[in-house]
Amino acid sequence: MGGLWVLVICGREKERILKVAPVYKTISELNAIFRDSVAQILGYVKTGSPGLFPNEAYKKVRFAWQKGGAPGWGVDDDVVFIRVVQIPDPYNLQREVISIDEGGLYKERMSYTRVLALQINVYGPLSWENGQSILDGFYDVGIREELGKSRVYPVPVKADLLRRPELWEGRWWERVDLSLNFNELVVREKDSGYFQEIVLPTVATN
């Protein structure tokens, strides 16, 4: 049976959840995390300023569905497009909820796993080789540790490279597609608005 599962937590499991700071990433933040991972896999080195990688890396690794469009590229250019989407999964339906007493003001903390798919389109003469590098790169310990800092964890599932050349203006453009799954830990917190005890001042009467 479908539906949302809410589990009220106590004891040691509650202590475990309390150790994790609230964390929720927007789609823009997730896109940036994965773009930097792909850039690192393809051999670009972090510069630190103005962004994590040189501009050349961001010309090669781009976001799909950009509001302002994307600069054109040639049939001989190697370009990667990425998009992050949430996919249906039983993990998305499970919630762990705890209540926190902060001096009489209660907060509710909810934690759950969000299952994501990183969908990648790779263009260019080296599309097959770059696609294979990306697929293998997400198994690299360093890349996995970097993702772990953002509470994002690769899911070891079967993933294949799909070669899908595109016919455009009388020419065949090399293209390879792949999709990888990830689990993201989400922890959200809100005030419940309830007080454990309210002490009212007393007024002496004669």
Dump pLDDT digits (tens) for 101-127: 666 667 777 888 899 999 999 999 999
Length of the chain: 206
- Contact in structure between 197 and 104 (CB atoms under 8 Å): yes
Q: Please tell me the predicted confidence (pLDDT) of residue 4.
A: 46
Q: What is the C-alpha to C-alpha distance for residues 119 and 115, in angstroms, rounded to an integer?
A: 13
Contact 96, 17 (CB under 8 A): yes
pLDDT at 54 (0 to 100) = 84
Give the model confidence (pLDDT) of 89-102 as tens digits: 887 778 777 777 66
Residue 148: CB atoms within 10 A of its CB come to: 12
Question: 62 and 73 in contact (C-beta within 8 Å)?
Answer: no
Pair 176, 126: CB distance under 8 Å: no
Residues of the chain scoring pLDDT < 50: 1-2, 4-11, 13-14, 195-196, 198-200
Residue 152 CA from chain centroid, whole number:
6
Enter the pTM of the model. 0.75
Report the distance separating Cα 174 and Cα 21, nearest Å: 44
